[in-house]
Amino acid sequence: MAKKVALLQGNQACAAGAVYAGCKFFGGYPITPSTEVAEELSISLPKVGGKFIQMEDEIGAMASVIGASLTGMKSLTATSGPGVSLKQELIGYACIAEVPCVIINVMRGGPSTGMPTGPGQSDVMQAMWGTHGDHAAIALVPSSVQEIFSETVRAFNLAEKYRMPVQVLFDEIVGHMRERIVFPEPGELEVIDREAPTDGPDTYKPYDSTKGQIPPLASFGSGYKFHVTGLNKADDGFPTTKASLVDAEERRQVDKVMDNVADIESNEEYLTEDAEVVIWAFGSTARSARYAVNELRKEGIKAGLFRPITLWPFPTKRTAELAVQCKAIVVAEMNLGQMIHEVERAAKGNCVVAGEFRVDGEPINPAQIMKKVKEVL
């Protein structure tokens, strides 16, 4: 049987991916350029018995998502930079309380209101460090409509598996672009559901590290009575200031991601095997970069593309290897230089690291990437 094919917008593909992943709750607030995600889900979620609520503000939207997730529902919110700024407090709450949820950030220009209808990639450091306190982060950066679908599914999988908030960031270009999408059949993409506790309600502890690095989360209303707080807490979920307990919990919550980078990491490479110069780019910029690689090859320049699909945790290992192999890495991003700092950290001076940046609301085009490559070689 032929697969279902459609011409779909990135934001619509995100909504479709969420439903495929089993999302049953969306709490949001209108914001350009992400609004179509909410609009689509307001149609599709009730059809599958799910719940859609438009909350009074971005913070309330994030709160409702965490509340719904605690009842066992896969939960989503979608917003853009200003909204993510407002949600930071509760993204931190989801980190410390370890509540799975997915946050879509369709990136526009910034800071503040910035350029609501223009693309940007300037929220990438915010995705890692936006909320206060030490924490791990997972952020995915798809670059096509098809990939928005599959990465939204993977975001839910990672959120449920690692019991934490996962962010999916795509720039406005990818969010509003229309492309052909082939809808995966049910079962074609892996869908991970939340692990149920093995302990009964009488002995269950929501943060019991003897159950593993990621202790199972019970659901409210399923027979388990437990406490959830944003305070530092002991394994039973109740607040503590005991130094050893606080330290162990803080470290476990970071280690559960950093010890599993291999599982979370996802990159695409194009013609990097013999590359003398690697363009390091993600989202819509990676599409320009791929074009630039082809053009540069025609001119005899051995160029390649490294495209992170998981941005956080940062692909340190592979970036470091490429830095040893090639003469230069050109980081192209629609900001004034954010991920380049991480690339420089990973490269450890083993190659030239140069940046090609743009923040005028226009996409980075292949010609400017090619020009930069020629400058550094």
Contacts of 197 (CB under 8 A, 6+ apart): 204, 211, 216, 217, 218, 224
CA atoms within 13 A on the CB side of 368: 16
Contact by Cβ (8 Å): 78, 25: no
Stretch of residues binding another protein (CB under 8 A), selected from 39-47, 173-181, 185-193, 283-291: 39-47
| Shortest reach from residue 233's CB to another protein, in Å | 10
Work out whether strand 178-182 and strand 5-9 pair parallel, antiparallel, or are unpaired: antiparallel
| Shortest reach from residue 222's CB to another protein, in Å | 8
| Shortest reach from residue 22's CB to another protein, in Å | 14
Regarding 29 and contact with another protein (CB under 8 A), the answer is no
Stretch of residues binding another protein (CB under 8 A), selected from 88-96, 130-138, 182-190, 287-295: 88-96
| Shortest reach from residue 69's CB to another protein, in Å | 8
Q: Looking at this protein, which amino acid is placed at residue 29?
A: Y
Nearer to another protein, 43 or 336 (CB): 43
Nearer to another protein, 194 or 372 (CB): 194
Regarding 238 and contact with another protein (CB under 8 A), the answer is yes
Q: What is the CA radius of gyration of the chain?
A: 21
What CA–CA distance (Å, rounded) separates 331 from 311?
13
| Shortest reach from residue 63's CB to another protein, in Å | 3
**Residues in the chain, overall count:** 377
* 50-79 residues near another protein, rule: CB under 8 A: 51, 53, 55-57, 59-61, 63-73, 75
| Shortest reach from residue 131's CB to another protein, in Å | 11
Nearer to another protein, 24 or 176 (CB): 24
| Shortest reach from residue 53's CB to another protein, in Å | 6
Binding mask 188-227 for another protein (x = CB under 8 A): -------------x------------------xx-xxxxx
Stretch of residues binding another protein (CB under 8 A), selected from 22-30, 156-164, 281-289, 316-324: 22-30
**Helix pair 81-97, 58-69: axis angle to 10 deg:** 30
Regarding 131 and contact with another protein (CB under 8 A), the answer is no
Contacts of 36 (CB under 8 A, 6+ apart): 9, 11, 12, 15, 175, 176
Cα angle value 20/37/217 (rounded, 5°): 55
Judged by CB under 8 A, the number of residues near another protein is: 44
Regarding 90 and contact with another protein (CB under 8 A), the answer is yes
Contact by Cβ (8 Å): 310, 361: no
DSSP calls for 257-277: HHTTHHHH--EEEES-TT-SE
Among 341, 14, 261, 252, smallest CA distance to 146 is for 14
Regarding 184 and contact with another protein (CB under 8 A), the answer is no
Could you give the 3-state DSSP secondary structure of residue 116?
coil
Q: Which residues bind another protein (CB under 8 A)?
A: 24-25, 27, 43, 46-47, 49, 51, 53, 55-57, 59-61, 63-73, 75, 89-90, 93, 201, 220-221, 223-231, 238-239
